[in-house]
Structure 1
Amino acid sequence: MARSEDFKTPLVRLAFANGLFKLIEDDWGNKNWTATLLIPKSEGLAVYEKAAVEAAKAEWGDKAVQMIKDKIIHSPFLDGDGPQGKSKKTGEPHAGFPGNWFLRVKSGEAYRPTLIDRQKLPIADQAKLKSGDYGFAVVHCFTWDNDKKGKGLTFGISMFQLVREGESLGGAGGVDVDKWAEVIPDEGAAPASTKGGAGAGGLFG
């Protein structure tokens, strides 16, 4: 498995936040801390695509770019307006998903993501961080390869900092806080440190 460097995201909206407080078991019986990050389509995926290509090249070399184009490598970027953005039970779109890309992020059982508020104080109470809230995450992209699903890319999460509360969408490891987090005023523009670059030129489109 290869992985990109950690980076701090632009402002994202949190969904399925309950997975940051309760371990979720995956298809292979592994327990993980999980969440979903909603990214407005108007902002694009450049900074995330850059990390995905970095991880893919580290694992599969320069051929990874063509493998991505040919969809041999499963993309981590999901469409909130597509089938994956809808409830399997009802067929209705998940609240807050339309108009957004989304990432399912995870961290292993032994590496619970650090959760902090605007003042860099720990968030221990699930009522203080809910689906629908906005913040910055520290993430990285990593590769996987297995007999059941083939090759793919997933994003890991090591920190989430709450910036502001949002309308509830329902449902509900160590990291250097001083390195990634800053005290955030109640209002204001995103810090320059979260701005993205040119990205991978829409390889995952």
Structure 2
Amino acid sequence: MGSRSEQFKTGLVRVAFVDGLFEVKEDDWGNKYWGCTILIPKSDSLAVYEKAALEAAAAEWGGAEKAMKMIKDKIIHSPFLDGDGPQGKSKATGEPHAGFPGHWFLRVKSGEAYRPVLVDQKKLPIVSKDKLWSGCFGYSVLHSFTWDNPKKGKGLTFGIDMLQLAKEGDRLGGGGGVDVDKWAETIADEGGTELVATLASKGAGGLFG
């Protein structure tokens, strides 16, 4: 089953690939999950994330000292990914994902039976992608958990329990709808009735350093 840390609240983060917060995804091993990507500015400290990751690793792999050595020796796969590195680029085009440069990013997920709670600034439920899209900013409640895969080895991931929207942001790729005001114009048909036509969509540290 693996071990997990206590829950913790993040600082202000940006979210990407938010489709997974509204519809269940499936990984390469057939596990269904909810999830998104969280972007953390490189100017922010990763201390709260690293503390949770080490807590889970220590519980799973024989204490903090042993877990730290395994992490430093890269026996344990790090959950912290570099938005300026290869993993921050599109496999299809080789171009950086919008919003990723200058950030660390985490692919956060929770099992199918544990859908994350999504709320707005007034703590009201968010049920529509019209209210939360890739590029918005918010505060997350996360926990770290361990995994051990016969093919990939040992690793750490972050689970997402809650996301509270703090403010809207420019739309990024990765789902969440289309900015109609940006991409649509008013067009008159032959009878003089105005139609709205969509013209295009927007394409798609520390211990662990």
Give the TM-score, by structure 2 length. Answer: 0.83
Residues 51-78 of structure 1 deviation map (CA, whole Å, 9 limit, x = unaligned): 0001000000231110000000000000
Question: What's the counterpart of residue 131 of structure 2?
Answer: 128
Unaligned runs of 5+ in 1: 173-200
Could you tell me how far apart the structure 2 residues matched to 1:99 and 1:49 are? 19
Distance apart, 1:44 and its partner CA? 2.5
Alignment length (residue pairs): 177
* Local SS of the residue matching 2:61: helix
State the AA in 1 paired with 2:37: T
Answer yes or no: is the 8 Å Cα contact 2:56–2:144 preserved in 1: yes
Correspondence 1:117-156 to 2 at 5 A: 117-156=120-159
> Any unmatched runs of 5+ in structure 2?
176-204
Flag as ranges the 4+ runs of structure 1 deviating above 2 A.
none
> Mapping of 1:165-204 within 5 angstroms?
165-172=168-175, 202-204=206-208
- The 3-state SS of whatever aligns with 1:145 is strand
For the pair shown, the structure with the greater C-alpha radius of gyration is 2
Which of the pair has the greater relative contact order for Cα pairs under 8 Å at 6+ separation? 1
Give, in whole Å, the separation in 1 of the partners of 2:106 and 2:6: 17
Q: Which has the higher strand share?
A: 2
Alignment equivalent of 2:111, drawn from 108, 113, 117: 108
* Root mean square deviation, CA, Å: 0.9
CA deviation after TM superposition for structure 1 residue 170, in Å: 2.4
Match of 2:72 in 1: 69
- Corresponding residue for 2:53? 52
Secondary structure of the 1:152 match is strand
**Counterpart code for 2:34:** W
CA distance in 2, matches of 1:56, 1:87: 30
Q: Tell me what 2:196 maps to.
A: none
